[in-house]
Amino acid sequence: MHIAMIGAGYVGLTTATCFAEMGHDVACHDTDSERISQLEAGELPIYEPRLEEAMQRMVASGKLRFSRSGANCVGGADIAFLAVGTPATPDGRIDLSQVEAAARLVSRWLKPGAVVVIKSTVVAGTCRRVREIMAEERKSLDFSVAANPEFLREGSAMEDFLCPDRIVIGCDDRRSALLLSEVYRPLTERGTPKVLTSTTNAELIKYAANAFLALKIGFINEVADLCAETGADVGPVAEGIGLDRRIGPSFLRPGPGYGGSCFPKDTCAFAATGRDHGARQFLIETLIERNEKRKAALARRIIAQGELRKGSVVAVLGLAFKANTDDIREAAALRIIPILQKAGLRVKAHDPKAATNARQWLRDVEWTDTAYEAAHGADAVVILTEWEEYKNLDLGRLACTMSRRVVFDYRNVLNPRAVAAHGLTYLSLGRPPVS
């Protein structure tokens, strides 16, 4: 199958590379020509485990290529995927301009009988809108539009794509159902379940899935707060509820509030869709508000419980919105660090992958190459991302280098007894203090 991929971001690059690994011929186009140059040089513009090597392998095999020209990418393709951004607008809705521009582009070069598939996360009714735009743009063209939402996570994008829990295919005609089923045959043959449904259902499945996962996180965060007040431990509590197969064990790790490029924007878009259609999503509206307030509340807790005052030094470990990515979009650090600075604290920061991106957004931070350099002379250490290297910190070394000995672990990555054994005051989420 000849596939055109429009958009070479996290989703476009992962999908293009994985389709090539599945045996398809893939051409990938992006309007950012600097990005295409980088990709042509074999460099991945993002940090994503395993993806760069796989991409280089697929390019070398001739299964994957990059193109500056829309015509060159789309002409001859049996199917064109749109994997462009759908950023939030100030009112919480989504900006569909990249999707609309990509639809106009493909309609110009698409061969008759081809299928356009929206991979981006889009609100209900977008496939219909794209169909209208394309029909206006090229009246005589015979084409179909389908939805195929993506459920991969950053940090484990390739595994998630190649071993998904399910594939959702939203089609309103037989042609696109057949073609998309063929594209995914290598995965469905291995037993991956396929949900074949309408385009509107597929569009809604994506938002409802993200909203539900975000709710699980919001729930466990509030349970953690209750554990802290009652002397319970959120670890065994999460395990105890997660073993019920109706609940499931994942997405029950407490943290500083969910972030990233998707949950914050997708929950807002879901709530806005509910308001627009007179079916308000009250649970999600409350979740959005609680998640925002949590970040500010945790920042204030550092100042109060750490007994910090003007000039105190705080070492922040972890700037990425989660581990194994360099993505800092809606990361807790971007909310928490400015609040600490506003209170007159000096901030030192470390992240193994995301510091370069974070520098563009944070001011007056002292950047360090190691966690220990950040902790040197600090009054408090705050862990905001669950990087493996923070789980394995040499606590003796950390304790020796700090000025005062308070550790706020907002990812519960350290062992409370081990931390206490090194004479550190340890404040984590929903776990009883150890002395």
For residues 25 and 65, the answer to whether their CB atoms sit within 8 Å is no
Figure out which of the listed residues 12, 92, 218, 259 binds ligand UGA, where binding follows CB under 6 A.
259
Residue 88 φ then ψ, to 5°: -75, 150
Two tokens, residue 21: 């690994």
User: Coil, helix or strand for 306?
Assistant: coil
Binding residues among 104-133 for ligand UGA as defined by CB under 6 A:
121
Asked whether position 150 contacts ligand NAD by CB under 6 A, the answer is yes
For the CB of residue 287, give the shortest distance to ligand UGA in the complex, in Å: 12
For the CB of residue 153, give the shortest distance to ligand NAD in the complex, in Å: 6
Q: What is the Cα–Cα distance from 60 to 55, expressed in whole angstroms?
A: 9
Q: What is the Cα–Cα distance from 177 to 191, expressed in whole angstroms?
A: 18
Q: What is the Cα–Cα distance from 119 to 80, expressed in whole angstroms?
A: 10
- The one of ligand NAD, ligand UGA, none whose footprint includes residue 258, by CB under 5 to 8 A per kind, is ligand UGA
Q: What is the Cα–Cα distance from 201 to 212, expressed in whole angstroms?
A: 16
Binding residues among 63-92 for ligand UGA as defined by CB under 6 A:
none
For residues 180 and 257, the answer to whether their CB atoms sit within 8 Å is no
Q: What is the Cα–Cα distance from 366 to 310, expressed in whole angstroms?
A: 16
Binding residues among 262-291 for ligand UGA as defined by CB under 6 A:
262-263
- The one of ligand UGA, ligand NAD, none whose footprint includes residue 83, by CB under 5 to 8 A per kind, is ligand NAD
Other CB atoms within 10 A of residue 365 CB? 20
Residue 69 CB contacts under 8 Å (≥ 6 apart), including other chains: 29
Comparing C-alpha atoms, which of 402, 254, 252, 216 is closest to residue 317? 402
CA distance readout (Å), 373 to 316, 349, 363, 367, 378 = 11, 9, 19, 9, 9
Q: Which one-letter amino acid corresponds to residue 97?
A: S
- The one of ligand NAD, ligand UGA, none whose footprint includes residue 393, by CB under 5 to 8 A per kind, is none
User: Coil, helix or strand for 10?
Assistant: helix
For the CB of residue 16, give the shortest distance to ligand UGA in the complex, in Å: 16
Asked whether position 372 contacts ligand UGA by CB under 6 A, the answer is no
Figure out which of the listed residues 20, 152, 223, 237 binds ligand NAD, where binding follows CB under 6 A.
152
Asked whether position 203 contacts ligand NAD by CB under 6 A, the answer is no
Binding residues among 66-85 for ligand NAD as defined by CB under 6 A:
83-85
Figure out which of the listed residues 64, 205, 213, 371 binds ligand UGA, where binding follows CB under 6 A.
213
For the CB of residue 11, give the shortest distance to ligand NAD in the complex, in Å: 4
Which is nearer to ligand UGA, 109 or 321 (by Cβ)? Answer: 321
Other CB atoms within 10 A of residue 194 CB? 15
Two tokens, residue 3: 């596939």
**CB closest to ligand NAD, residue no:** 9
For the CB of residue 298, give the shortest distance to ligand UGA in the complex, in Å: 12
Which is nearer to ligand UGA, 70 or 149 (by Cβ)? Answer: 149
Residue 413 CB contacts under 8 Å (≥ 6 apart), including other chains: 383, 386, 390, 391
Which is nearer to ligand UGA, 39 or 152 (by Cβ)? Answer: 152
Comparing C-alpha atoms, which of 416, 414, 429, 383 is closest to residue 221? 429
Figure out which of the listed residues 211, 217, 223, 349 binds ligand UGA, where binding follows CB under 6 A.
217
Two tokens, residue 372: 């220990």
**CB closest to ligand UGA, residue no:** 262
Figure out which of the listed residues 25, 76, 133, 151 binds ligand UGA, where binding follows CB under 6 A.
151
Q: Which one-letter amino acid corresponds to residue 39?
A: L
Mark the segment that binds ligand UGA (CB under 6 A) among 123-131, 137-145, 187-195, 253-261: 253-261
Figure out which of the listed residues 59, 101, 133, 232 binds ligand NAD, where binding follows CB under 6 A.
101
Binding residues among 225-284 for ligand NAD as defined by CB under 6 A:
261-262
Figure out which of the listed residues 2, 9, 196, 197 binds ligand NAD, where binding follows CB under 6 A.
9
Which is nearer to ligand NAD, 321 or 387 (by Cβ)? Answer: 321
For the CB of residue 43, give the shortest distance to ligand NAD in the complex, in Å: 14
CA distance readout (Å), 145 to 27, 102, 216, 280 = 19, 13, 33, 29
For residues 222 and 238, the answer to whether their CB atoms sit within 8 Å is no
Which active-site residues does the annotation give?
262
Residue 234, strand partner residues: none
Q: What is the Cα–Cα distance from 218 to 364, expressed in whole angstroms?
A: 31
Asked whether position 47 contacts ligand UGA by CB under 6 A, the answer is no
Asked whether position 170 contacts ligand UGA by CB under 6 A, the answer is no
Residues found near ligand UGA in the complex (CB under 6 A) = 121, 150-154, 210, 213, 217, 251-253, 255, 258-260, 262-263, 321-322
- Applying CB under 6 A, the residues found at the interface with ligand NAD are 6-12, 29-32, 35, 83-86, 98, 101-102, 105, 120-121, 150, 152, 154, 261-262
